[in-house]
């Protein structure tokens, strides 16, 4: 009996070692490409050509200089991306919360059909309508305008679905009734009482909406041809062009600049982001 116990303890220790080794290797696999990116952003092209190094060098400023000389304007790109992502995020979370509240708090005839409809259109990809969308925007002279990238955020079926599930679990209609007795109008009740109650869900959805808009390449690439309107992902696509062919240091610098804001956001909010990912899957 003792021997069996000892044997299983040894087996457990071996198993545990394997698990940790694999997990650490996977973590390294996540970090290394980005590590090389940040390190190479500080190395000269000659150093990069000479071989791999995991230690930073001293050419950060000269790489940045070369990058900025070639019409790469990270500040403009950052501002455009930020304008789009922040506005779209606010519209998405506000109107999705409003729609979800309308679905949960009121009894109306088309409530169930409307919810069924939202579930049905939740997974339609943007690519399916891109040609019609582009032609539509072209006709009303909305290309090279940030609005077509912002306004569609009002209708975000997946976020409405999530907000509805959240409200079903947390909202008590007695609060709404009490507000009515106090003479609060329906809009005021939503803005003053319900929205603050929904903050945890809003925060989670806001992070994901912001990141999704920030990372979006397809729609901006179609709609924006004017350089002053370029977003960060379009700027990244410029780094693939011929003008950077031999300037490896500045390519890595450009990549590092586009990724840096996301790394900062991620490490500040990682706990909430991981929790949010977990919630997204458990759509029970």
Partner 1 sequence: MRRKGVNYSRYGYIFTLPFVLAFLVFSLYPILYTAVIGFTNMQGIIPKPLEILDNPFQNFKDLILENASFKKSLINTGLLWIINFIPQMGLALLLTAWFTNKRLNVKGQGAFKIMLYMPNIITASTIAVLFSSLFAYPMGPINSLFEMLGWSDAPIFFLQDKTTARGIVSFIQFWMWYGNTMIILVAGVMGINPAIFESASIDGANGWQTFFRITLPSLRTILLYTLITSMIGGLTMFDIPQLFLQGGPDDSTLTTSMFIYGQAFKGSYMYNRAAAASMLLFIIAALLSAVLFYMMRDRDAAKLNKTIKQQRKAERAAAKGEV
Q: Which of 21, 61, 217, 264 binds partner 1 (CB under 8 A)?
A: 217
Residue 243 CA from chain centroid, whole number = 30
Please give the C-alpha separations between residue 220 and each of 29, 93, 159, 225, in angstroms, as whole numbers. 31, 21, 22, 9
| Secondary structure (3-state) at 109 | coil
Cα distances (Å, whole numbers) of residue 39 to 75, 179, 240, 244, 249: 22, 57, 19, 18, 10
Told to check if 195 binds partner 1 by CB under 8 A, we report no
Minimum CB distance to partner 1, residue 6 (Å): 16
Among the listed residues 73, 76, 134, 142, the single contact to partner 1 using CB under 8 A: 134
On the 0-12 / 13-18 / 19+ scale of CB atoms within 10 A, 26 is: exposed
Choosing from 177, 192, 228, 243, the residue that interacts with partner 1 (CB under 8 A) is 177
199 belongs to the binding site for partner 1 (CB under 8 A): no
The DSSP string of 8-30 is: HHHHHHHHHHHHHHHHHHHHHHH
What's the closest the beta carbon of residue 61 comes to partner 1, in angstroms?
20
44 in contact with partner 1 (CB under 8 A): no
| Residue 175 within binding range of partner 1, rule CB under 8 A | no
The C-alpha atoms of residue 107 and residue 115 are separated, in whole angstroms, by 13
184 lies in the site for partner 1, by CB under 8 A: no
Q: Does the footprint of partner 1 cover residue 239 (CB under 8 A)?
A: yes
Task: Choose, by CB under 8 A, the member of 69, 218, 228, 268 that binds partner 1.
Answer: 218
Neighbouring C-alpha atoms within 13 Å toward the C-beta of 242: 0
Q: Find out whether 204 and 277 touch, Cβ atoms under 8 Å.
A: no
Residues from 48 through 107 that contact partner 1 (CB under 8 A): 48-52, 95-96, 98-99, 101-103, 105-107
Q: In the set 64, 248, 250, 253, which binds partner 1 (CB under 8 A)? A: 248
The torsion defined by the Cα of 26, 30, 32 and 35, in degrees rounded to 10, comes to -150
Stretch that binds partner 1, among 13-21, 63-71, 82-90, 196-204 (CB under 8 A): 13-21
Q: Which is closer to partner 1, CB of 3 or CB of 52?
A: 52
Nearer to partner 1, 120 or 199 (CB): 120
């Amino acid at each position: 009996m003792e021997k069996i116990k000892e044997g299983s303890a040894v087996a457990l220790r071996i198993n545990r070692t394997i698990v940790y080794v694999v997990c650490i290797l996977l973590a390294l696999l996540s970090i290394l490409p980005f590590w090389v990116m940040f390190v190479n952003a500080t190395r000269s092209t000659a150093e990069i050509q000479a071989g791999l190094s995991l230690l930073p060098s001293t050419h950060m400023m000269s790489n940045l200089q070369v990058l900025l000389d070639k019409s790469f304007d990270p500040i403009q790109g950052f501002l455009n991306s930020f304008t789009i992502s922040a506005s779209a995020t606010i519209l998405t979370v506000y109107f999705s919360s409003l729609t979800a509240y309308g679905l949960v708090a009121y009894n109306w005839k088309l409530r169930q059909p409307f919810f069924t409809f939202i579930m049905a259109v939740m997974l339609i990809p943007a690519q399916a309508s891109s040609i019609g969308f582009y032609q539509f925007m072209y006709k009303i002279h909305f290309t090279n305008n940030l609005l077509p990238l912002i306004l569609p955020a009002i209708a975000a079926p997946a976020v409405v679905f999530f907000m509805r599930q959240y409200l079903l679990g947390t909202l008590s209609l007695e609060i709404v009734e009490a507000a009515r007795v106090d003479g609060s109008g329906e809009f005021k009740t939503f803005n003053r009482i319900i929205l603050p109650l929904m903050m945890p869900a809003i925060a989670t959805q806001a992070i994901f909406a912001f990141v999704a808009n920030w990372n979006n390449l397809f729609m901006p690439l179609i709609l924006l041809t004017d350089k002053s309107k370029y977003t960060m992902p379009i700027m990244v696509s410029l780094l693939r062009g011929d003008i950077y062919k031999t300037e490896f240091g500045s390519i890595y610098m450009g990549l590092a600049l586009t990724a840096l804001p996301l790394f900062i956001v991620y490490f500040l909010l990682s706990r909430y982001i991981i929790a949010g990912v977990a919630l997204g899957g458990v759509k029970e």
